[in-house]
Amino acid sequence: MALLTLIHNDQTHMMKKNKSAAILMCTYNGENFIEEQLESIKNQTFKNLSLFISDDGSSDRTLEIVKSFKQKNMHCFQEIKIIEGPSCGFAKNFLNLVKGVGNDYDFYSFADQDDFWHEDKIESGIFELEKYKKEIPSLFCSRTKLVNQFGKKIGYSKNFKSAPKFQNALVQSIAGGNTMIFNKSSKIILNEVNMSIDITSHDWLLYILISACDGNIVFSQKPKIDYRIHKANLIGSNLGFKNFLKRSLLVFQNKWIDWNNLNIEHLKKFKMITPSNKKILDNFISLRHEKNIFMRILLFKKSGLRRQTVLGNISLFAAIVFKKI
């Protein structure tokens, strides 16, 4: 046992020594929790980190806190850089930041402003991604531990067990961007995203594109962040049946149609989609425009579309029946 522990420690040391990671944080009026989040990033066991923060026009003390943190903690990072966001919403803020940071890092990680990272978040994600060839786009994501505004545990995000793949990505975002770590090959894909097309969400788009080209996607059932539930992001938790109903209601307000329109526009411009996934996409597009309900159901079965839960698949089938997809 001691020998195995020593070997693991040596491997971890080599990974820390040779690899680099860039943390991509976007902020907007996050003064209440951002300092705690920044401290949790500073305390990561993986130390070869650069921190890039894009503020999207905060009117509170967010920038003051961030600048103070930078001044006090430059020695803890390879680099800390603060930039001005595009003021076009959180998704484009993240994509703009991705494009603005160079391809000089081995790995990249999204960071929200109000979470708390477990100290081995980056290290554990990189450990999983290192199992794959660096030339192949690869993405790591995970469950989250849900906490209230005071940091008290209130539960966990859903434990998805079906393998992540394109048929799922078309109709569901599997994990929050705050859990995502991805390699340079994935970052290069995001570089090519057309910013003139609106973005539903940066994390969902990344999942869609990586799965479309049959990249590697790891979903860990072990949480590595505390995801803070407060007024500004309550529906984002999908915690409980009440929030499930809120999300389902969006389907019948044509929100899902709007989201899918945007995702499909990006996929139409994506040159790395595999032939088999292109066929799935074509079937998906056809069923969305098919007027005959029986043909829609037939195309649905042919495409293999699925969500991760029973309730999710029921809502998916209802959306197809009522032509709300």
Q: How many domains does the chain have?
A: 2
Q: Are residues 100 and 31 in the same domain?
A: yes
Domain closes at, from 214, 237, 260: 237
Q: Going by C-beta distance under 8 Å and a sequence separation of 6 or more, which residues neighbour residue 324? A: 251, 252, 254, 256, 257, 318
pLDDT per residue rounded down to tens, the chain (325 residues): 443 333 344 445 445 468 999 999 999 999 999 999 999 999 999 999 999 999 999 999 999 999 999 999 999 999 999 999 999 999 999 999 999 999 999 999 999 999 999 999 999 999 999 999 999 999 999 999 999 999 999 999 999 999 999 999 999 999 999 999 999 999 999 999 999 999 999 999 999 999 999 999 999 999 999 999 987 664 455 555 566 666 667 666 789 999 999 999 999 999 999 999 999 999 999 999 999 999 999 999 999 999 999 989 999 999 999 999 9
Q: Are residues 88 and 182 in the same domain?
A: yes
Q: Are residues 83 and 192 in the same domain?
A: yes
Q: Going by C-beta distance under 8 Å and a sequence separation of 6 or more, which residues neighbour residue 215? A: 136, 137, 138, 139, 185, 186
- The per-residue pLDDT for 231 is 76
Q: Are residues 221 and 258 in the same domain?
A: no
CA angle 257, 262, 268 (to 5 degrees): 120
CB 94 within 8 A of CB 105: no
Q: Are residues 273 and 230 in the same domain?
A: no
Domain extent, residue 39, equals 2-237
| Pairing verdict, β 181-183 and 138-142 | antiparallel
Domain closes at, from 237, 265, 284: 237
Q: Among 216, 217, 194, 209, which residue's Cα sits nearest to residue 273?
A: 209
SS3 content of the chain, % helix, strand, coil (to 5): 50, 15, 35
